[in-house]
Structure 1
């Protein structure tokens, strides 16, 4: 009887451990074999794609209008919608849902917030790491 009870406890523990391991892999995405979308790009990658004339890429600058006129300047051909206006004007970007939107700001912080707003709206976005400060160092 003791042996049967010990075996029952052992099998129960194995079953619980196995189920727990399966749940953790699903929760952390490790069970998913699909490739992860890239969420960041360097300014070097952005420059390379712009110089190559990548027609699948548009650049959104989320700095203020005054910042565009400031010392860091602005990239040519950008779309400008400040972060403060983005939620109200995100629909202006709907025509670019089939393209990748590279989001840039001064240092890379506001662009992360902007990416999160646009992802919720179904846009394919990528954050430009380091922002215009990093671009200026190129």
Structure 2
């Protein structure tokens, strides 16, 4: 059922950088290849095509991808599963902080 009032919760990459100072769950929904190419240290790789099987214990999860489109889809799926999912707007394209992996 589509709820007109349910909007996708989103934060900027700048706000995410602040949030990362706390223990949070950050899911990177890009492909394993993209993830290996460079990701945020605290991010766990959980590709979009497997997100419907996600079974984390926490209620609140942050979701990132390359541009924000796949993470937006993942947030919808996670919300249907009862999570408080938050999309990182602009994704890795806008991320200014340190990354692990890649070049």
Could you say whether these structures have the same fold, taking a TM-score greater than 0.5 normalized by the shorter chain as the test? yes
Q: Between Structure 1 and Structure 2, how many residues are aligned?
A: 96
Q: Which residue of 1 aligns with 2:44?
A: 79
RMSD: 2.4
After the TM superposition, which parts of structure 1 deviate over 4 Å for at least 4 consecutive aligned residues?
none
Q: Which residue of 1 aligns with 2:101?
A: none
With over 3 angstroms needed to count, the CA separation of the structure-2 counterparts of 1:116 and 1:37, relative to structure 1, is closer
Q: Taking structure 1 as the reference length, what is the TM-score of the superposition?
A: 0.62
Aligned positions of 1:95-134 closer than 5 A = 95-97=57-59, 100-134=60-94
Any stretches of 5+ residues in structure 1 without a counterpart?
1-26, 30-35
Q: Report 1 or 2 for greater relative contact order, CA contacts < 8 Å, sequence distance ≥ 6.
A: 2
Any stretches of 5+ residues in structure 2 without a counterpart?
99-103
Task: From the CA coordinates, give the structure whose radius of gyration is larger.
Answer: 1
More helix by share: 1
